[in-house]
Amino acid sequence: SRQAAGSAGARNPFDRRLKRKQKNWAALQPEAAKCDYLREEVPRAPGRAGSGLAAAAPLTPWPLPTAFPLALDVGSGRGYIAQHLTKETVEKLIQVDIAENALKCTTETEIPTASVVADEEFLPFKEDTFDLVVSSLSLHWVNDLPKAFREIHQVLKPDGVFIGAMFGGDTLYELRCSLQLAELEREGGFSPHVSPFTAVSDLGHLLSRAGFNTLTVDTDEIQVNYPGLFELMTDLQGNNCSWNRKPLLHRETILAASAIYQEMYGNSDGSIPATFQIYYMIGWKFHESQAKPAQRGSATVSFGDLAKINGLLSRRKK
């Protein structure tokens, strides 16, 4: 099917069939929510996706609407964003995810919702459908991120807004470094054990090429402390769906990586930190009513006058 299309290669780094199986498996685990702390944290953090919709308004050139009649959550999982929304923010929400088990386990919300099983790269909706599209910690697993952004832009109505969050390139750098050093020492080479991520320098360009304007791109880091490497890797199991992933790690390599991790990054209390870099983005679909930049050469004050700004303001107050 088109949803499961894609094979190994530079243009398709991820096995999407495997990612669907991983997400379906994770959703059915007895205590699945215990490993979802990041996906729970990002939507409710002020100024970010989800409940940060209102707080995100200062980052935009004009206020967000009082309410969005119809919104789309791309890669919704168990409804991490929906549980932080209210009827005053969104009137109806469509939740989309590649894993049907995740959608069967969605949390309750006061907003009317509907669930659709679909791939983030192939959104099954008509053009100009949604007033708002949100996505939290899902898009870093798509094979064609530019296409995913174009799909989101296409289903947005003119003057609609996209607010998203995704993992950044420095995510789990401690783990990657420790595993690589351990494999080089014990096995004479190394394979990737953490999925590749997009660089922040590329993100604004990709959004712009997809058609978004008035962009805001920001980064943040969330650091989580774990008792040790084994606990960290237990929480991460079933996440790497790269075609070039190594199927298993030798016990000696894991023990060496644990010692390296502790030596290079360990906390004084014996725990180890894991860094998750988050990219936050806001982009609008063009509409004639939106503010436009002034024409070139229309400025009435030069940069050379900036040093006099305090004096000019003082005289204006008088």
pLDDT of residue 269: 95
The 3-state secondary structure of the chain, one letter per residue: CCCCCCCCECCECECHHHHHHHHHHHHCCCCHHHHCHHHHHHHHCCCCCHHHHCCCHHHCCCCCCCCECCEEEECCCCCCCHHHCCCCCECCEEEEECCHHHHHCCCCCCCCEEEEECCCCCCCCCCCCEEEEEEECCHHHCCCHHHHHHHHHHHEEEEEEEEEEEECCCCCHHHHHHHHHHHHHHHCCCCCCCCCCCCHHHHHHHHHHCCCEEEEEEEEEEEEEECCHHHHHHHHCCCCCECCCCCCCCHHHHHHHHHHHHHHHCCCCCCEEEEEEEEEEEEECCCCCCCCCCCCCCCCCCHHHHHHHHHHHHHHHC
pLDDT of residue 189: 65
pLDDT of residue 110: 85
> What residues contact residue 287 under an 8 Å CB cut-off, 6+ apart?
158, 159
Q: Which CATH number fits domain 16-171+195-230+274-316: 3.40.50.2000, 3.90.180.10, 3.10.180.10, 3.40.50.150?
A: 3.40.50.150
pLDDT of residue 239: 55
pLDDT of residue 178: 93
pLDDT of residue 58: 40
Instruction: Give me the residue spans of the domains in the chain.
Output: 16-171+195-230+274-316
pLDDT of residue 60: 44
pLDDT of residue 14: 64
For the chain (length 318 residues), average pLDDT per consecutive 10?
42 69 73 69 56 41 66 89 84 91 83 91 94 90 89 95 90 91 80 68 90 89 91 72 56 91 95 92 83 62 56 55
